[in-house]
Amino acid sequence: MVIPSSILSMGLLSPGRRLRSISSSLFGCRMQTSAAKSDEDEKKMQFLTVMREVPVPVVVVTAAASGGPRRGFTCSSFTSVSAHPPLVSVCIGQPSRFLRLVLDTGRFNVHVLAERQVSLSVHFARPPEKNEDQFDGISHTTDENGVPLLPDVAAGIRCSVFKSDIVGDHAVIYGEVLESTVAQDRPPMVFYQRSYHSLAEAAFMSAFERQTLPFEDWTHEAHIRMAWNYLRQHPLPEAERLIKQGIQRYNTVNKTRVSRGYHETVTCCFVRLVAAALRDPITGSANTFREFRRRNEYLWDSALVGRYYSPERINSEEARLRFVEPDRQPLPDVS
């Protein structure tokens, strides 16, 4: 760096001292810039962490051009905007070919997926290839404008484009509702904590974790259901920790009504059995707990633990306090 002689001649600093001062100032600015960027990154991560805890409906939005491509995408941000006139909004990440298609045609359809339609959400979450027909092999019909309609959804809304805005890194499309339908017998699916849930499962798990689940509902099925939820959301070690911790907390709150108390080996045994069922490509692919039960009725067999443990071992004090290996046959390998 060259220091102009006019500055040095002012006599405020010696050349060496002045150079060190300017260099420190420059590096200070860089450090502040880096710190500001770090603060922004941290703020972004905190925001995303919070939003993962907010359940949202799982929505697929579809559009099509006359004689052109048919497109759909899984939308993570959908909401109602106004009742008079009836308006909804969907957010689309930028850049997006879907946005151009919707703006060109002025039409789009919104589908609130039912709790058994995880596969549709996964399918439309994947960006399509340039000439790919996303609806090839997907059951659907079309409206009078040729826009795809997905069957068996929890709710459907047909829209015309009301307006659009660019906000941050997303485009917001406002749609005026042309027609809306709802299915009374198909509960919607929700997404939070990076996993799919039904509203019924979300309510059940919330009641369990807050220890507000009625004690008369704390049945064997409730134990299996709780384990099924945790094992779908977490790796086995973390799920097992949450299951054990949750049962013990629930039992503590209901200690005057619990007759047998917590049993470590029985708990670990069922954790492994449910985990094994979930890993099976057929029995574990169920999208709802009701379907999981239908495919795994053996988990409700009162003699199931006895297939692995003798009465002497499972009823021992050691088995109650810590996990002991079975003495009749090994548990499924879920490592």
Q: Where are the domains of the chain?
A: 56-182, 201-321
> 175: burial class by Cβ within 10 Å (0-12, 13-18, 19+)?
buried
> 169: burial class by Cβ within 10 Å (0-12, 13-18, 19+)?
exposed
Segment 25-32 mean pLDDT: 46
> What integer pLDDT is reported at residue 11 of this predicted model?
40
> What integer pLDDT is reported at residue 56 of this predicted model?
85
In this structure, what token pair is assigned to residue 44? Answer: 């972004």
Cis peptide before 85 (omega within 30 of 0): yes
Q: What band does 287 get if pLDDT is binned at 50, 70 and 90?
A: confident
Q: Could you give the percent of the chain with pLDDT greater than 90?
A: 60
pLDDT tops 60 at residue 158? yes
Residue 63 dihedral angles phi and psi, to the nearest 5°: -155, 160
Q: Are 300 and 273 in contact (CB under 8 A)?
A: no
| Contact residues for 126 (Cβ-Cβ < 8 A; gap 6+) | none
DSSP tag of 114: B
Could you tell me which residue, 200 or 224, shows the higher pLDDT? Answer: 224
Residue 171 dihedral angles phi and psi, to the nearest 5°: -100, 140
Q: Are 61 and 111 in contact (CB under 8 A)?
A: yes
> What integer pLDDT is reported at residue 174 of this predicted model?
97
Helices (H) and strands (E) counted in the chain, each on its own, are 11, 12
> What integer pLDDT is reported at residue 10 of this predicted model?
37
> What integer pLDDT is reported at residue 46 of this predicted model?
85
pLDDT in tens, 242-272: 999 999 999 999 999 988 889 999 999 999 9
Q: Are 34 and 164 in contact (CB under 8 A)?
A: no
Q: Could you give the percent of the chain with pLDDT greater than 70?
A: 89
pLDDT in tens, 89-125: 999 988 788 899 999 999 999 999 998 788 899 999 9
Could you tell me which residue, 33 or 243, shows the higher pLDDT? Answer: 243
Give the count of beta carbons closer than 10 Å to the beta carbon of residue 190. 20
Give the count of beta carbons closer than 10 Å to the beta carbon of residue 234. 16
Instruction: Indicate the class that CATH gives domain 56-182.
Output: mainly beta
In this structure, what token pair is assigned to residue 186? Answer: 């198909």
> 9: burial class by Cβ within 10 Å (0-12, 13-18, 19+)?
exposed
pTM score? 0.58
pLDDT in tens, 46-99: 887 887 777 788 999 999 998 788 999 999 899 999 999 999 999 998 878 889
pLDDT tops 70 at residue 228? yes
- Dihedral (Cα; 20, 21, 23, 28), 10-degree rounding: 140
Q: What band does 206 get if pLDDT is binned at 50, 70 and 90?
A: confident
Q: What band does 34 get if pLDDT is binned at 50, 70 and 90?
A: low
Q: Looking at mean pLDDT, say which of 3-12, 58-67, 278-287, 301-310 comes out highest.
A: 301-310
